[in-house]
Amino acid sequence: MKSFLWLSWLVFAAAPAAALPPAGPPADLAPYFAEMRQNHPAYRAADLRYQAALAAVPAATALPDPQVSLGIFVEEVQTRVGPQKQRLGVRQGLPWPGKRALAGEVAAAEAEVLAARREGVARDLEKQFKQAFAGYFYLGRAVAITAEHLALLEDLERVVTDRYETSAAHYNDLIRIQMEIEQLGERLASQKAAAQPVRAQLNTLLGRPLDAPFAFPPALPAVASLPELKGTDARAVIAQHHPDLQVLAAHQAKNRTKVALADLQRRPDFHVGLDWINTGEAVMPNTRGSGVDPVLLSVGVNLPLWRKKNRAAVDRARFTLEAVESQQRDVGTRAESLLQQALFQRDDAERKMDLFGERLVPKARESLAVITSDFQTGAGSYLDLIEAEQDLLTFLLAYHEAEQRRFQAVADIEYLLGGAPAAPANQGGTE
């Protein structure tokens, strides 16, 4: 038993740290994203709004509905050719040339706004999923590492108990190990409990039941290397790819068309009509044209005389256009600030990954191996062994926390810049 214990501790301490291998193959998030677009109600609602806007485009370019009128003379109008009994008329409105085309462009632009908004919803859901997925990955690694350390301490407790029973170890050593086991057990229980709401969040994003199983990912997807973006470069990329700015840009295109349409509303509209009058037989026999029904062709035009109303419509469209321009500047400035914060978080996390993964974890493993070897020969103490184990556990968890933070920061950057750059960076991992 003792030989197996020391072998377990030595194998654990001598695990390859320099290579920092991940626990498994990187996860592929593309199927999850497709599932979200298929099942998430927010994306479904955004897609239906877009489809509804597309369906409205043909109606915007259609002619006004024709009008049909029927009139019955309460008292017949006597004419030379006979009494007029009923009047049936048809009217068709004809907007000023260009109005229907601009109305169609406004409707199509509204569909573009909703298409951009739908894409923004998808990208926001993807960012939320990446954030939660990274947190779930960290909890999975934390549970696995903590459980492994707890198992080693429980083995050590049995050895110390045997030594205490033969007076080869002090009672304080046994108590100290038991206290550490209790603390580590509580940490493990807390980590498992923390994973439940994160798993529920992931299932919610995927449109699954809250309690659906979701395995801990063995490794995060490889993150992409990003070019240095500063000043005007960052501003240009954000302006072109930020989802909120894409929505506002579509709004701008729509509002410009609405300004043109409002200006055109000052032009008159026309209408043409055709009236048929039912006429009876003339009182005088042999009257020429007796009983012939007259047909009347009419042409009319409305007069947009109320200039205040027309001017108000134009001013409203222009003010809306200027408001969206101001909103674009505000969103762009805030996005630049968020980008700088995300870049700092990524760089800071990468420094932490290098610190813990390439330097502190290997040194902690080496220290644990030396102390374990000394303990076998009686030169080391239980407290030194526990302290070395605590250091290694702390450094391993800190490494994976930094890995989580880096992935989350890159998710923020990709959201702000409209997608991941092509070149993947080196993907680290540690146990």
Residue 429 lies in a domain: no
Question: What's the pLDDT at 10?
Answer: 46
Question: What's the pLDDT at 421?
Answer: 45
Question: What's the pLDDT at 12?
Answer: 54
Residue 188 lies in a domain: yes
- From CA 74, how far away is CA 94, in angstroms rounded? 32
Beta bridge partner(s), residue 301: 270
Count the neighbouring beta carbons within 10 Å of the beta carbon of residue 249: 18
CATH number at residue 42: 1.20.1600.10
- From CA 7, how far away is CA 1, in angstroms rounded? 10
Q: Residue 36's domain spans which residues?
A: 2-65+97-268+307-417
Task: Supply φ then ψ for residue 353, to 5 degrees.
Answer: -60, -40
- From CA 233, how far away is CA 417, in angstroms rounded? 11
Residue 202 lies in a domain: yes
Question: What's the pLDDT at 420?
Answer: 47
Query: Rounded to 5 degrees, what angle do the CA atoms 386, 388, 391 make?
Result: 110
pTM of the predicted model as reported, rounded to 2 decimal places: 0.81
Residue 74 lies in a domain: no
How does pLDDT run along the chain (431 residues), one tens digit per residue? Answer: 444 454 455 445 545 443 355 656 777 899 999 999 999 999 999 999 999 999 999 999 898 899 999 888 877 777 777 788 888 999 999 999 999 999 999 999 999 999 999 999 999 999 999 999 999 999 999 999 999 889 888 888 887 787 777 776 678 778 888 898 999 999 999 999 999 999 999 999 999 999 999 999 989 998 877 666 665 677 788 888 889 889 999 989 998 898 888 888 888 899 999 998 888 777 777 777 676 888 889 999 988 877 787 788 788 888 988 898 899 889 888 988 898 899 899 999 999 999 999 999 999 988 888 888 877 776 667 778 888 888 999 999 999 999 999 999 999 999 988 764 433 444 555 55
What dihedral angle (degrees, nearest 10) is formed by the CA atoms of 415, 418, 422, 424? -10
Beta bridge partner(s), residue 277: 87
Residue 298 lies in a domain: no
Residue 83 lies in a domain: no
CB 355 within 8 A of CB 405: no
Question: What's the pLDDT at 232?
Answer: 63
Residue 25 lies in a domain: yes
Question: What's the pLDDT at 82?
Answer: 74
Total of domains in the chain: 1
Q: Which candidate, 130, 27, 132, 22, places its Cα nearest to that of 357?
A: 22
Question: What's the pLDDT at 1?
Answer: 46
Integer CA distances (angstroms), 69 to 28, 92, 255, 277, in order:
66, 12, 38, 12
Residue 21 lies in a domain: yes
CB 83 within 8 A of CB 280: yes
